[in-house]
Structure 1
Amino acid sequence: MVTSRVNPENRERPGAWKRLSRFGGDRGRYAMLARSLLAASAGGLLYWASPPRDLWWLAPVALAVFTLVVRGRRGRAGFGYGFVLGLAYMLPLLGWLLDFLGGQFGPWPWLGVGLVEALFLGLAGAGMARAGRLPLAPVWQSAVFVAAELLRSALPFGGFPWGRLAFTQTGGALLPLASIGGTALVGFGVALTGTALAELVRGLTRLVRAGRNSAGGAERAGPLRGLAVPVAGTLLPVVLGLAVTPTLGTAAESGTARVAVVQGNAPNVGLDLLYRDRQLYANHVRAARELVADVEAGRVARPDFVVLPEQVGSWGAERRDPALRDVVERLGVPVIVGGLATDSAGRLSNRIVRWGPGEGASEEYVKQHLVPFAEKIPLRSVAGAVSPFVRRFDRDMVAGDDPGVLSAGPARLGVGICYDVAYDDVFRGAARSGANLFAVPTNNAWYGRSEMSYQQLAMSRLRAVEHGRSMLVAATSGVSAVVRPDGSVARRTDLFTADTIVDEVPLRSSTTPATSIGEYVTWAVAALGVLAMVLSTLRGRRARRGG
């Protein structure tokens, strides 16, 4: 017969183990709360690293804080902390959705998009937690984070690339990396600097503890040797970015072009802009006519071509526009203008049309990446609850497939429309097709005086560096700008102000490594992230068998 033995101390205090267990549980909950607060603070740092603030260095710090949060955690916990990071980052970053839709639909569209994007950052957190157990953990964790960014740039409904790490770096030392490997390499550089910094902090902490426990040098040698990889990972992206900086060419290799960017302004009425097409058109035709008058009076030098924003015109298949044609004939130079257009089959699209003297409308570009629930409407039967575009357009727009390269005086003008600039393929395709100058007509008047226009300008600056081309940003209500090939802003306008920029810009024919191999760098980083998940899974299985 087996008899149980009871510790006399426990017999006298029957609730001791229960109280101890409760204390341990409380401590665990406090630790989880502390980690959640740190994850939220990391998301807040990422937001403050974003435009219009020029605090690029906060992004690696945010990644360092988050890496410490998920270090040693299970994948499920990493997902939760990543989700918290995502909410703290995405909700304030996308605050312009409240300016856009909040008055009519309340906070639900803003919350919905923020939640979906936070889920992808949750996946990043889960992957980073698992990859943190691998040798050279910072490399694997960085690849996982960028792979999650690439995934949310494709899914769902064509993805939403807003808020990628690369778009926080337009004023920083890591921006030149865009000319080598595009957004994927810049994002990987940010993540590697941050994750390696976290390992460096842990290594220094161990070194300090070893020094307190022993005065001998032998005990410190191990931790000291272990700092080499974190130091290298922290410094290498910054050093490489600084080394690449002198290679960012700005010289006029194919001459120059005098350009005019017309911002006719728009009313700050949010969603009501849906039904102000005529006012947008009238404002920009008037501004273009003022430019004509200034040129004819000799107050402004005649430009080689003119760029007007997105959504100025509205044309049928015959492309008739007497007022715009009059402007073109008086100026005697091409005018590049965006608008809604139908083709001979009646299909609606968002286009850029080149109007030339003596020929009218000729070359066109059709927007490649359509905005979900606006230009294309999934789940149309229920989307009316969150999108006013269901009532405005009875059918989806069609997307284009071909790169946009238009003849504009001495320039071969590579174009994208608004949302296109967030995606890697549009301007890469234009550069490969011979564009020596870029332009992105856009309409940001929907979003009031929010940060949205500045966030989009940052993307334009990155594209300029990525392909070594000047970028012309033509916005209805601002911010319009002339961006140099090194990402610097030469000229810009204010929000909700009618203005015209006339400037001389370099035309460049050379290509950057990113133009040639940028997509392969993207695939390589994504593959590295997937490999990290495979290796961490195999490692976990071996550990369970060994146990």
Structure 2
Amino acid sequence: MPEPRVPQRPLLPLSLALPAAAMAALLMNLSYPSTAVWVLAFPATALLLVALIGRGAGGALAVGLVYGVLFFGLLVSFTSRYLGPLPWAALSVLEGVLTAAAVILITLAYRWMPRAFPSVWARLLLLPAVVAALWVGREVFVGSWPYGGFPWARLGMSQAESPLAHVASWTGVSGLSFLMVFLVALVIQVVRERLWRRPAALIAPVVVTVVLLLTPLFPTTTSGSLRIAAVQGNGPSGYFDEREPYSLIDAQTDATEPLYGEDVDLLVWPEGSLDFDPFQSDSLARRMSAIASRVGAPLLANAATERDGLFYNTSMLWTEEGADGQVHDKRHPVPFGEYVPDRAFFNALAPDLIGLIQREYTPGSNPPVIDVDGVKVGLAICFDVIYDDVISEGMADGAEVLVFQTNNADFRGTNENLQQLAVARMRAIETGRSVVNISTVGTSQVIRADGTTVSSLDAGKAGALLEDVELRSGLTAGVVLGPWIQGLLVWGGLGALAFGCLRARRR
């Protein structure tokens, strides 16, 4: 029986493709916190792919722009909390434009790959694989450029509350994104080719579904426990909050007092927990030493520090004798939040906004790990949690538990803290490590290696968590193979598309 040829015309006219892209953006946003209906990521992906199939470059650009601007506009609406609509609109439009440019490649894959490899099995399996790889490539592109990128919205990160999250411990987050898109594109091809009449063609989607739903957590080994206290002071730590001198450490100290007399191995305060640089403030240094002495454990705190005329976002370990020399500087300062790239150019466009950001933080280069009585603790400061390189380096240095310090005060009343908490949960699953995620204003949690919550502090309330946090050793496949899988998908997708283009032209 001759194999059917898939028509190259668009599945939807542009008048329907653009509303489909908008609906895809709405559903995709609902798959992320705070709504977190994770299953909606699948119909959202399907709507976007259907809207792209058969389009030319111009049509794909329009579809991608509608999807990208609306999706990011909804997802990062928290950025307008203090700075107003201009930065929010600028970020949404930028990410939308980058998304629109990247999805053109997916449209080209739907155009070229069936011509290059016309067999039904190639269209059923190879085409969805290339589409899914290009989707991952789009995520890597948007997450790394410009100015370090914005890897906030990877598809796999939407699954923090789903049974699919365990897959990330084997493949990394990019591998999970690939499998999700592959399944959706596979089902689309089964429908397009009317292959439900061929039982053999249904094996592939069934197998992928089973893999996604039933993959167990990659095993790591319990190596003891560390009694960690994490304090959420709920102080005036926002960029524009009015505060008195020492109001931040006062709030943290007040919330720490219930821990006096408890058995504690490590006391953790969040990002922005100190008012000044303790290396240049004797009074602040003495207070930190006194607190470490009262608790009977070293204090991991955070402040803006200055060294050699450069400013850093620094976490430091402090004992009753003072600083013990272990510091970690934030690796990826937030552009237009902690520094202004190309300041002269952007200052000419919006001088009032750019003028608000006076301090220019320098990216750190020291390892994201500290040693607490022989236990290696991996660190990530605020948005560094979304960058794979910081997490991977901490794991390579032997981290047995992860501590994420953050300051969500500038986003009070939004869902930003829940989005960041979902990323922290995915990191726990991906690395097979317990995570202590502590915020100045919440939401703070201690999370097990399987992603379940041990204890929690609600947003907007001062309090302290004290838990025997499980330590684990051994690296997951997601940590070891995840970067290689991501690189293979990015370059493999681009290479397959280029080869498909050449082969299609010859045919």
**So what's the TM-score if we normalise by structure 1?**
0.83
Query: What letter is aligned with 1:346?
Result: G
Separation of aligned partners in 1, 2:144 and 2:434? 27
For residue 402 of structure 1, the aligned residue among 366, 390, 395 is 366
Separation of aligned partners in 2, 1:275 and 1:151? 40
**Alignment partner, residue 329 of structure 2:** 366
Deviation of the 1:75 alpha carbon: 2.8
Say yes or no: does 1:110 pair with 2:88.
yes
Counterpart mapping for 1:114-153 below 5 A: 114-133=92-111, 134=113, 135=123, 136-153=126-143
Say yes or no: does 1:54 pair with 2:31.
no
Say yes or no: does 1:432 pair with 2:401.
no
Q: Deviations over 1:418-438 (max 9, x none)?
A: 010011111111011011000
Counterpart mapping for 1:227-376 below 5 A: 228-229=200-201, 231-249=202-220, 253-267=222-236, 271-273=239-241, 278-288=246-256, 290-292=257-259, 295-296=260-261, 301-313=262-274, 314-315=276-277, 317-318=279-280, 320=282, 321-343=285-307, 345-376=308-339
Separation of aligned partners in 1, 2:15 and 2:333? 40
Deviation of the 1:539 alpha carbon: 4.4
Q: Deviations over 1:473-492 (max 9, x none)?
A: 11000011101111112211
Q: Relative to structure 1, is the Cα distance of residues 246 and 361 closer, same or farther in structure 2, using a 3 angstrom cutoff?
A: closer
Deviation of the 1:228 alpha carbon: 4.5
Separation of aligned partners in 1, 2:242 and 2:330? 19
Q: Relative to structure 1, is the Cα distance of residues 115 and 198 closer, same or farther in structure 2, using a 3 angstrom cutoff?
A: same
SS at match of 1:478: coil
Q: Deviations over 1:62-112 (max 9, x none)?
A: 11121111112223312221111112211110110111311xxxx111111
Query: What letter is aligned with 1:364?
Result: V
SS at match of 1:415: strand
Separation of aligned partners in 1, 2:352 and 2:155? 31
Query: Does the 8 A contact of 2:417 with 2:442 survive in 1?
Result: yes
Separation of aligned partners in 2, 1:497 and 1:420? 24
Query: What letter is aligned with 2:59?
Result: A
Question: After alignment, is 308-317 or 277-286 more displaced?
Answer: 277-286
Separation of aligned partners in 1, 2:245 and 2:491? 45
Q: CA RMSD in A?
A: 2.3
Separation of aligned partners in 1, 2:140 and 2:470? 32
Deviation of the 1:167 alpha carbon: 1.2
Query: Does the 8 A contact of 2:64 with 2:103 survive in 1?
Result: yes
Q: Relative to structure 1, is the Cα distance of residues 246 and 147 closer, same or farther in structure 2, using a 3 angstrom cutoff?
A: closer
Query: What letter is aligned with 2:487?
Result: W
Among the aligned pairs, what percent are the same residue?
Answer: 28
Q: Deviations over 1:248-303 (max 9, x none)?
A: 55x6x2211111110000349x6413877743332112222x134xx33xxxx322
Separation of aligned partners in 2, 1:389 and 1:254? 49
**Alignment partner, residue 518 of structure 1:** 482
SS at match of 1:466: helix
Deviation of the 1:316 alpha carbon: 5.7
Counterpart mapping for 1:411-426 below 5 A: 411-426=375-390
Separation of aligned partners in 2, 1:281 and 1:333? 17
Query: Does the 8 A contact of 1:422 with 1:459 survive in 2?
Result: yes
SS at match of 2:240: helix
**Alignment partner, residue 65 of structure 2:** 83
Query: Does the 8 A contact of 2:170 with 2:218 survive in 1?
Result: no
Query: Does the 8 A contact of 1:146 with 1:188 survive in 2?
Result: yes
Q: Where do 5+ consecutive residues of structure 1 fail to align? A: 1-27, 208-222
Query: Does the 8 A contact of 2:33 with 2:422 survive in 1?
Result: yes
Q: Relative to structure 1, is the Cα distance of residues 76 and 488 closer, same or farther in structure 2, using a 3 angstrom cutoff?
A: same
Separation of aligned partners in 2, 1:535 and 1:63? 25
Counterpart mapping for 1:67-78 below 5 A: 67-78=49-60
Separation of aligned partners in 2, 1:114 and 1:510? 39
SS at match of 1:504: strand
**Alignment partner, residue 462 of structure 1:** 426
Query: Does the 8 A contact of 1:174 with 1:189 survive in 2?
Result: no
Separation of aligned partners in 2, 1:263 and 1:362? 24
Query: What letter is aligned with 1:356?
Result: T
Counterpart mapping for 1:148-163 below 5 A: 148-163=138-153
Q: Relative to structure 1, is the Cα distance of residues 160 and 335 closer, same or farther in structure 2, using a 3 angstrom cutoff?
A: same
**So what's the TM-score if we normalise by structure 2?**
0.89
Pair member with larger Rg: 1
For residue 41 of structure 1, the aligned residue among 23, 41, 66 is 23
Query: What letter is aligned with 1:499?
Result: G
Say yes or no: does 1:169 pair with 2:156.
no
Separation of aligned partners in 1, 2:246 and 2:492? 51
Say yes or no: does 1:190 pair with 2:157.
no
Query: Does the 8 A contact of 1:174 with 1:238 survive in 2?
Result: no
Question: After alignment, is 414-423 or 31-40 more displaced?
Answer: 31-40
Say yes or no: does 1:101 pair with 2:83.
yes
Say yes or no: does 1:497 pair with 2:461.
yes
Deviation of the 1:236 alpha carbon: 3.8
Q: Where do 5+ consecutive residues of structure 2 fail to align? A: 1-9, 114-122
**Alignment partner, residue 11 of structure 1:** none
**Alignment partner, residue 116 of structure 2:** none
